[in-house]
């Protein structure tokens, strides 16, 4: 009688079927030989550590160690397969991977991820299917893609192994001693523990920045190699991270899911909402260590610090004049280009700065905001006011009294 080899359910494997007669007492997986069961049992051993100092040499279960990341494997073949992770790992471009390299020949047409086997690619493609729901009530029983359902939270999984790992979160098998958070397995717990220990074992070979996870290092590497694998299908703009693409898509959809509970203003990004809330709270968490001035945004503090350091990183390529802010450089460049983007709608006169346009508009409105409180004369420009105080009243650097008035200028 032919049995379904993929099933681990004892009810689907009668005792007279000898194909998978050896059953794991821990996770119910079944195997054809006692040797394979014995090899599998190493998964449940207490040796979860990759540190050679914590694994005696008499333990032969994982004798093959990766020289790059210290992961250990049971066979030399498994180690050789793992080493492909460190080979060609930065490039998803088929032109940069020779056809003779058979390690990851199967490529996803949606996100460009690559896989060693067609089966793994087929499994990955489920990520891009329209059926994203984990709710068993929304998935018909004829759908076999996620048949393993958690009895505690109704999440469903493709394999029994995935469900077993998920159940560890509910049972607390792998629990952080620092914060009590539960992980699905020992590897996830080890990665989480680095938040508390501060350990960052993955270092960028270009800039030396360190990370807790290899995936974080891979994402960071795109800053240096310029790789942007996530492309917007609307405007073809590309991004180095999937999350950044998701945020960008709100530009096209108009989605603004983050609401201010004070003034009901909406935002497309949670970070923008956080900055906005400081308007209501008055919070200024970014303090200058040199003069105690505080700011609501880190960028403003960075600009301010250049007052103390004298740093002027933005340099004009025409005359070598330097500025502490990009906006000042942009304004300066109009001196060389002759650009005057601010136009008066009444007389079509144009200006290189918005402030100059505002001053010019007083010609049309008759506004005179500067008043001498000694003789009550009014002035349209602060320069004319200063000249008046020096010549008529012999006063230097006198602050004008602001007053809005329409009438003739000096």
Q: What is the β-pairing status of strands 266-267 and 258-259? A: antiparallel
CA distance 89 to 113: 10
Rounded mean pLDDT of 167-189? 92
Higher confidence at residue 73 or residue 351?
Answer: 351
**What pLDDT is attached to residue 18?**
60
Q: What percent of the chain has pLDDT over 90?
A: 33
* Residue pLDDT, tens place only, 370-402: 888 889 999 988 888 889 988 998 887 665 544
What number is the average pLDDT over the span 49-54? 37
The mean pLDDT of the chain is: 78
Per-residue confidence band for 91, with pLDDT thresholds at 50, 70 and 90: very low
Question: What's the pLDDT score for residue 86?
Answer: 60
The pLDDT assigned to 112 comes to: 67
Which residues are bridge partners to 300 per DSSP? none
8 A C-beta contact, residue 152 and residue 136: no
pLDDT in tens, 314-348: 999 999 899 988 889 999 999 999 999 999 999 98
Return d(Cα 262, Cα 126) in angstroms, integer.
41
Lowest mean pLDDT among 13-17, 151-155, 178-182, 332-336: 13-17
Give the best-scoring range by mean pLDDT among 5-19, 120-134, 284-298: 284-298
Q: What does the radius of gyration of the chain's CA atoms come to, in whole angstroms?
A: 34
Higher-scoring residue by pLDDT: 84, 146: 146
Per-residue model confidence (pLDDT) at position 142: 41
170-196: average pLDDT: 92
> If pLDDT is split at 50, 70 and 90, which confidence band does 53 have?
very low
Whose tokens are 């999937």? That residue is 242
Least confident window among 29-43, 125-139, 223-237 = 125-139
DSSP 8-state class, residue 378: E
Using the predicted structure, report yes or no on whether residue 365 has a pLDDT greater than 90: yes
Whole-number Cα distances in Å, 389 to 75, 122, 268: 91, 82, 51
Q: What is the pTM of this model?
A: 0.39
Spatial distance between the Cα atoms of 57 and 73, rounded to a whole number of angstroms: 14
- Kindly report the number of other CB atoms within 10 A of residue 263's CB atom: 10
Per-residue confidence (pLDDT) for residue 196, from 0 to 100: 92
d(CA 164, CA 151): 12
Across 104-158, where does the E strand assignment appear? 106-107, 114-115, 148-149, 156-157
Domain boundaries, the chain: 342-402
Which of 168, 210, 170 has its CA nearest to residue 188? 168
Give residue-wise pLDDT tens across range 40-50.
Answer: 776 665 444 33
Whether the Cβ atoms of residue 3 and residue 13 lie closer than 8 Å to each other? yes
d(CA 247, CA 237): 12
pLDDT of residue 44: 64
Q: Is the pLDDT of residue 129 over 90?
A: no
Is a pLDDT exceeding 90 seen at residue 167? yes
pLDDT at position 9, please? 41
Tell me what pLDDT residue 79 has: 79
Give the number of other CB atoms < 10 A from CB of residue 376. Answer: 10
* Percentage of the chain lying above the pLDDT 70 cut: 77
- For position 405, what pLDDT does the model report? 43
Place of tokens 């349209």: 380
Following DSSP, what letter does each residue of 303-364 receive, concatenated?
HHHHHHH----EE-TTT--EESSHHHHHHHHHHHH----EE-TTT--EESSHHHHHHHHHHH
Give the pairing of strands 64-65 and 106-107: unpaired
| pLDDT higher than threshold 80 for residue 251 | yes
pLDDT at 190 over 60: yes
As a whole number, mean pLDDT of residues 209-223 equals 90
Nearest to 107 by CA among 92, 96, 119, 95: 92
Q: 169 exposed, middle or buried (CB, 10 Å; 0-12, 13-18, 19+)? A: buried
Q: Which of 7-11, 93-97, 396-400 has the highest mean pLDDT?
A: 396-400
pLDDT for res 131: 40
CA-based torsion, 240, 242, 246, 247: positive or negative: negative
Nearest C-alpha neighbor of 215 from the set 250, 241, 233: 241
Phi-psi region of 154 (alpha: psi -120 to 50; beta: other; left: phi over 0): left
pLDDT at 5: 38
Write down the CATH superfamily of domain 342-402: Classic Zinc Finger (3.30.160.60)
Q: Got the DSSP string for 220-270?
A: HHHHHH----EE-TTT--EESSHHHHHHHHHHHH----EE-TTT--EESSH
């Amino acid at each position: 009688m032919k049995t379904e080899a993929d099933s681990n359910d004892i009810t689907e494997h009668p005792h007279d079927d000898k194909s998978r007669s050896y059953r794991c007492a821990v996770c119910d997986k079944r195997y054809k030989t006692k040797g394979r069961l014995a090899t599998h049992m190493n998964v449940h051993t207490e040796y979860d550590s990759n540190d050679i100092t914590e694994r005696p040499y008499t333990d032969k279960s994982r004798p093959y160690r990766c020289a790059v990341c210290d992961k250990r494997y049971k066979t030399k073949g498994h180690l050789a397969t793992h080493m492909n992770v460190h080979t060609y790992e930065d490039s998803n471009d088929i032109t940069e991977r020779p056809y003779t390299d058979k390690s990851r020949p199967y490529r996803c047409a949606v996100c460009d991820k690559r896989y060693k086997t067609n089966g793994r690619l087929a499994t990955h493609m489920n990520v891009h299917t329209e059926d994203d729901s984990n709710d068993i009530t929304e998935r018909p029983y004829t759908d076999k893609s996620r048949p393993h359902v958690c009895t505690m939270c109704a999440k469903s999984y493709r394999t029994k192994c995935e469900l077993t790992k998920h159940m560890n979160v509910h049972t607390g098998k792998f629990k952080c001693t620092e914060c009590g958070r539960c992980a699905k397995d020992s590897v996830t717990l080890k990665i989480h523990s680095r938040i508390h220990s501060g350990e960052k074992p993955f270092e960028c070979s270009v800039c030396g920045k360190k990370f807790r996870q290899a995936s974080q290092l891979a994402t960071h590497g795109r800053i240096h190699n310029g790789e942007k694998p996530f492309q917007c299908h609307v405007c073809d703009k590309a991004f180095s991270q999937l999350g950044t693409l998701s945020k960008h898509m709100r530009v096209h959809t108009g989605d603004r899911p983050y609401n201010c509970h004070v003034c009901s203003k909406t935002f497309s990004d949670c970070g923008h909402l956080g900055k906005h809330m400081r308007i209501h709270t008055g919070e200024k968490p970014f303090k200058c260590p040199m003069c105690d001035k505080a700011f609501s945004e880190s960028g403003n503090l960075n600009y301010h610090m250049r007052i103390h350091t004298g740093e002027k990183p933005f340099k004009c390529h025409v005359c070598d004049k330097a500025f502490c802010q990009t906006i000042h450089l942009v304004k300066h460049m109009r001196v060389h280009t002759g650009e005057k983007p601010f136009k008066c709608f009444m007389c079509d006169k144009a200006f290189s700065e918005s402030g100059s346009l505002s001053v010019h508009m007083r010609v049309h409105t008759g506004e005179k905001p500067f008043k001498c409180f000694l003789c009550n004369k009014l002035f349209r420009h602060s320069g004319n006011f200063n000249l008046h105080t020096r010549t008529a009243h012999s006063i230097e650097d006198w602050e004008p009294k602001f007053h809005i008035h329409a009438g003739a200028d000096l």
